Structure 1
Amino acid sequence: MATTKQIGLVLLVVLCGNAYAQTKVDDAFIIENYYKVKWGYAEEFIALYKKNHYPLLKKALEKGDLLSITIEKPRQHATEDGRWDYRVTLKFKNAQAAFDPNLTEPYKKELYPDLEKLKREEQHRFELLVAHWDIEVQAIEADK
Structure 2
Amino acid sequence: MITREAGELRLLGVLTLPGVERSVRYARLFLRDTLVPDHLAPGDELLDDMVLVVDEFACNGIRHTASGRGGKIHISLWSGPGVLRAEVSDDGADGARPALRDAPDDESGRGLHIVAALASRWGHRPDGTRTTVWADFRVHPRAHGARI
TM-score between the two structures when normalised by the length of structure 1: 0.38
Structure with the larger helix share: 1
The answer to which structure, 1 or 2, has the higher relative contact order (CA under 8 A, 6+ apart) is 1
Choose 1 or 2 for highest CA Rg: 1
